[in-house]
Chain A
Amino acid sequence: MERGTLDIKVNVREAQADCYIVELSGEIDVYTSPKVKDAIGDLIDRGVYNLVIDLEKVRYIDSTGLGVLIGGLKRVREHGGSVNLVCTNPQIRKIFDITGLVKIFGIFESEDAAMKALV
């Protein structure tokens, strides 16, 4: 029996050649992160190695969500690609700060800025 729905929405769209935006909405935790992992993994499997992941509509993220982002970054780097994030939520920024992930991800205030930094 299906109980409830995943409280995460993933919207993938092509922004320009070889560069996609993954817009996430909701909460990313141990239950919902597999859906995010699958979406990012599908893009990489298709040969997309430059990603902007938009976290503006994400209300909550935990270590499993961070792990998915790190895993995606590792995979695209193997192909010379990169992952930039869009995030202005102070609480979520704080998590990137205290884990030191601000040093490995480019974090921007808009999709445009994140996109420009990729190319």
Chain B
Amino acid sequence: MNEPLPRNDGSEEIVDLRIPCKAEWVALARLSVAAVASRLNFSIDEIEDIKLAVAEACTNAIQHAHGSPFIEIKCEGLQDGLRISVRDHGRGTHPEHIRSRELNDERVGGLGVFLIRSLMDDVDYDVRPDQGTLLVMVKRLTV
């Protein structure tokens, strides 16, 4: 098991990643964040959850953030978990357009947001027209 990172004030446990807003780079984002989660001693199942949530956030940016040249992913180690911020700089997708999927609804859209909300403990969007979308999500360590 890895030695946990020091988590006194959180200031030293930030990992920043910037990838082109293109599909072929999503794998790098999810694998990088998985490495951070592993360093923070999340379980294998939790790491898989985090990988998927980050990939879904990046996929949303690629599919909806028209005009964003890149995606910024910030990982912050917390006392009790991991906070991940995913920001794009596209035209922005209004929250009403990012709807969770209803069970038994076989439509294709909305699955990504539904998965993010299901797999992470806290999820928050900040969408500003012409300034892009910021998605902040937290996964807490299980005791």
Contacts and interface: CB of A to CB of B under 8 A. Distances in A.
Main secondary structure of the interface of B (DSSP, over half): helix
B108 A70 contact: yes
Contact of A71 (B62, B63, B108): B108
A66 B109 CA distance: 10
A67 interface: yes
B45 interface: yes
B24 A100 contact: no
Given A99-B101, A103-B104, A63 B111 contact: yes
Q: How large is the interface on B (under 10, 10 to 19, 20 to 34, 35 or more residues)?
A: 20 to 34
Contacts of B101: 99
A67 B108 contact: yes
A17 interface: no
Interface of B: 23-24, 26-27, 45, 48, 51-52, 55-56, 58-59, 62-63, 101, 103-104, 106-109, 111-112, 114-115, 118-119
